[in-house]
Every structure is written in structure tokens, then in C-alpha cells.
Amino acid sequence: MDAIEALMLGVVQGLTEFFPVSSSGHLAMLQALFGGRDEGGLLFEVAVHVATLVAIVFFYRERIQAIVVGFFGGDRETLEYVGKLAVATLPAVAIGLTAKDWIAAQFSNPLLVGCALVVTGCIVFSARWTADNALTAVPGWGVALAIGFAQALAILPGISRSGSTVALALALGVAPLAAAEFSFLMGIIAITGAAILMIPDLEGVGSGQLTMLLIGATAALVSGLIAISLFVKMLERSLFHHWSWYCWIAGGGFLFWSLA
């Protein structure tokens, strides 16, 4: 991996982690175009995932601070909210622990990645009919669990985590900004878990990649902060569903390239 490739992958990770277009799908597509994952690929993925985690924490720093204060202060509403975040994480944890190897193998399945991106487009487009009627400020326990199952589905490369969780939250009546907040705060747990799951696989990865890791992580952090800000603004203006066209074009194009 050279500096240009590290920069490109970092920018793509940062943008697609928050835009509803699937970061895992884009990394799979780029790795296919670049000839596959190199020996430092796993370490690089951990680095850029941690960078996007930092972007979430920075963007929601005031909300996270309030949650921490409320949690340790015994505030009932805060304790319930944290409990809902934990419940929403359970489906992804279960699938991640039981099907880790199978999921990793799907990154080399271009047909699945392309089809999954097309499916993501359909999921995102559904917000066209649901966003205006979504008014609930905080998801209920059942809704939180349902959002968690949407996140679990997004473990597949090509299914957007932010797209599927926010679209389902909107369909179940959660207001756009509240849906985004719940999705991204839930993402702190999910991204941390994904990074931890990758750690055992780092044994034997070649050293000497520090510069590339710094380039990729910095690019992911900066582009991630830009993406999460734009994503929230697009939700406010009911423009979320327009990302479906990109998913359809990218997924269809990758399918055509794979078959050709």
C-alpha cells in the first residue's frame, strides 16, 4: 500500500461510514480494484475504524458528556437510553461472534457486495415516505431492538449501517435527528467491537506501516467529521433518500465490472 492508496481508502472510509452508502462495501470494492487486501490490510482497517470512532465522539461530545454525567448520577431517562443502546447492540454482537469468518469471506464476493449496495439503495429510498411523519424524540425498547437487527444486517459488506438503522428508525416513527443520534451513538459500541474482533487477526501482519496508517487514519477522521455534519444537515432538510441513487449506480456499476 502506498501513500495515495492509503489516502484514498482513508477518505472513502470516513465518508462512507456516515453517508448511507456502506463503508464496508466501498472498502471491498476498492480492494478488488486495487488487486485485493495486502498484508497490512487488517491493521489499516482497524486504524481507519478507530478514526471514524473518534469522529463520532467529537461530533457528539456534548451529548456523550451529558450521558456520562446522567449515567453516573443515576438519572432514570439517561439510564434507560444507555440500556436501549446496549440492547440495540446485542444482535450485531451475536452475529459478529458466531459468523465472523463467514462475514470476512463475503468481502471477496463481488456479486454479494454489488447486490447489497442495490438493496441499500432501496432501504434508503424508503425514507422518502417516512421521514416527514417521524416525530418521536426517543426510540422505545422494541424500536431500539429492531434498529439493532438492522445494524446486524449491515455487517454484510454493501449494506449501510447508517442507512439501514436510520431508515428503519424513521419508518418506526423516530424523528430524523434523534434517529441519527441513536444510530451513531450505537455505532460507538459497534465500531469498537469490530476493531476488537480484528485484533487477534493482526498477528503476523508486517511492520513498517506506521506512515500509511497515520495517513489513512487522519484522512478518515477529517472526512468523517465532514460527512457526519453533512449527513445530519441532509436529514434536517429531508434529503436523506437521495443517496439511494448513488447506491444503485455504484452497486450496479460494480456488478457490471465484476461480471465483465
- Percent residues over pLDDT 70 in the chain: 91
Cα-only R_g, the chain: 18
CA dist 44 and 38 (Å) reads 10
Higher pLDDT: 21 or 207? It is 21
With a cut of 80, say whether residue 34 has pLDDT above it.
no
Using CA atoms in the order 179, 183, 184, 188, what is the torsion angle rounded to 10 degrees?
Answer: 150
pLDDT tens, position by position, 67-126: 999 999 999 999 999 999 999 999 988 887 787 778 878 777 889 999 999 999 999 999
Instruction: Return the pLDDT at 201.
Output: 61
CA dist 77 and 19 (Å) reads 29
Task: Give residue 44's identity as a one-letter amino acid code.
Answer: F
Supply φ then ψ for residue 12, to 5 degrees.
-60, -45
Are 60 and 26 spatial neighbours (Cβ–Cβ below 8 Å)? Answer: no
Q: pTM for the full model?
A: 0.87
Are 213 and 43 spatial neighbours (Cβ–Cβ below 8 Å)? Answer: yes
